[in-house]
Amino acid sequence: MGKAIEIAPGIFWVGVEDWHRRVFDALIPLPYGTSYNSYLVVGGEKVALIDTVNPGFEQELLEKVERIVEVERIDYVIMNHAEPDHAGGVPTILSRAKNAKLVATRKGVEMAEAFYGVAAERTVPVREGDTLDLVGKSLTFVEAPWLHWPETMFTFCRETGVLFPCDFFGSHLASSRLFDDEVGDILLPEAKRYYAEIMMPFSRFVAMALDKIKGMDIGMIAPSHGPIYRNPRRIIDAYERWARGPLERKALIIYVSMWGNTEMLAKTIADAISSEGVEAVPYDVLKADLSHIARDLVDASAIVMGSPTLLAGIHPLVGLAVSLVRGLRPRAKLAAIFGSHGWAGGAVDQMEGLLRQAGLEVVDTLKVRGRPSREDLERAVNLGKLVAQKVKETAIETNS
């Protein structure tokens, strides 16, 4: 979209679509690209730009701003978040708008200096509840640490009811349609995939932020990635579910197999879990999209991990999945582990140690030498049934 779009009186979307980006954090696939939403707020006397764009898109941002006001007229650049996909355009804007001040939290100001060389005299540090008067419109700042970095904040325009939460409520979805109700069914699954990687590690802070915004009269949520929510409840309710709603009766079986032996165990375990009325979702990490595993971790109740022993330890691909589980800090606390080895084992013990360290309760382990025997497969069935039983018990505790 080459134009600036007025989303509320005096508030313009001046962001860009990055249709062709295919990976984020050098890790997460972006099948639908992403967007870097920037917003121009034009008050009676002052003009503010909320967040900028990823490096390489500055010219497009400048052209869109120029359709509304001269760039030199910008008085404030509101930096909700210092990560380069939103603040990468800050140096360009500040070099053109010579009188503009950068507004951020105290930590944000430090990061602006470290990342973008912004001089202290060009910054305005703000705290929770501080308000900037643009005349006829005001911007109030809400501290929102760890959503996504320690310096992050939200900005709220009380007169229009528009909340600008930057990464929070975002999704990696480039679209020529700007609003949530225009995008269709793809939106919430993509928002959940995004939530899994960016927000799930900080679910305690997500809950705090959800509580904080409860008292605000929000009519529209304008994040800095993906569509704008004209129906804010749609994404607020989804975040409530993902951050603190009941977990699903669902177990993930995450594994890899070199000669089919660990896979035989995985299939047997998955069938046993499923036969008990608990959803079993197998992921062979050789073929799986890590972001799909992450998305399922948002509301799974149990994590079952399987690895053959390779190089005296966990197969590296499963090791990556273990790192993902440890780093993303899903709410599931139940785990079980299995694997086949040729001579000396090692993978199962290593996985058990790593998952216990991460606070998971390992309810069962299964080590098999070579091809699983009938007895080994019976043990796999028992492991699966135990996991299913624990999932059902957890669901009952959660609902009682």
Query: Is 81 among the residues that bind ligand FEO (CB under 6 A)?
Result: yes
From the CB of 51, what's the least distance to ligand FEO, in Å? 9
From the CB of 179, what's the least distance to ligand FEO, in Å? 20
In angstroms, rounded to a whole number, what is the distance separating the alpha carbons of residues 275 and 224? 43
38 phi/psi in degrees, rounded to 5: -125, 150
The answer to whether the CB of 115 falls within 8 A of the CB of 64 is no
CA distances from 322 to 202, 216, 238, 254, 264 (A): 18, 39, 26, 9, 20
The answer to whether the CB of 294 falls within 8 A of the CB of 332 is no
Query: Is 85 among the residues that bind ligand FEO (CB under 6 A)?
Result: yes
Nearer to ligand FEO, 46 or 81 (CB): 81
Nearer to ligand FEO, 197 or 364 (CB): 197
What the block records as the tokens of 322 is: 């273990």
Q: How many residues does the chain have?
A: 400
Stretch that binds ligand FEO, among 40-48, 81-89, 183-191, 375-383 (CB under 6 A): 81-89
From the CB of 52, what's the least distance to ligand FEO, in Å? 12
Stretch that binds ligand FEO, among 83-91, 278-286, 347-355, 377-385 (CB under 6 A): 83-91
Which distant-in-sequence residues (6+ apart) come within 8 Å of 207 by Cβ? 243, 244
Query: Is 18 among the residues that bind ligand FEO (CB under 6 A)?
Result: no
Query: Is 193 among the residues that bind ligand FEO (CB under 6 A)?
Result: no
DSSP string, 166-220: TTTT------S--BHHHH-TTHHHHHHHHHHHHTGGGHHHHHHHHHHHTTS--SE
Where in 217-256 is the site for ligand FEO (CB under 6 A)? 225
Nearer to ligand FEO, 191 or 254 (CB): 191
Nearer to ligand FEO, 101 or 225 (CB): 225
Task: Build a one-symbol-per-residue string for 109-138: x at contacts with ligand FEO by CB under 6 A, - elsewhere.
Answer: ------------------------------
What the block records as the tokens of 285 is: 């990490």
**DSSP code of residue 121:** G
How many alpha carbons lie under 13 Å from residue 360 in its C-beta half-sphere?
Answer: 29
Which distant-in-sequence residues (6+ apart) come within 8 Å of 323 by Cβ? none
Nearer to ligand FEO, 243 or 334 (CB): 243
From the CB of 101, what's the least distance to ligand FEO, in Å? 22
Number of residues near ligand FEO (by CB under 6 A)? 7
In angstroms, rounded to a whole number, what is the distance separating the alpha carbons of residues 168 and 78? 16
Task: Give the residue, chosen from 46, 64, 86, 101, that forms a contact with ligand FEO under the rule CB under 6 A.
Answer: 86
From the CB of 150, what's the least distance to ligand FEO, in Å? 11
From the CB of 148, what's the least distance to ligand FEO, in Å? 4
Note the helical H segments in the chain: 58-66, 84-87, 90-96, 106-116, 180-183, 187-198, 203-213, 232-244, 261-275, 290-297, 316-328, 347-357, 374-399
Task: Build a one-symbol-per-residue string for 145-184: x at contacts with ligand FEO by CB under 6 A, - elsewhere.
Answer: ---x------------------x-----------------
Task: Give the residue, chosen from 17, 51, 83, 299, that forms a contact with ligand FEO under the rule CB under 6 A.
Answer: 83
Site residues, ligand FEO (CB under 6 A): 81, 83, 85-86, 148, 167, 225
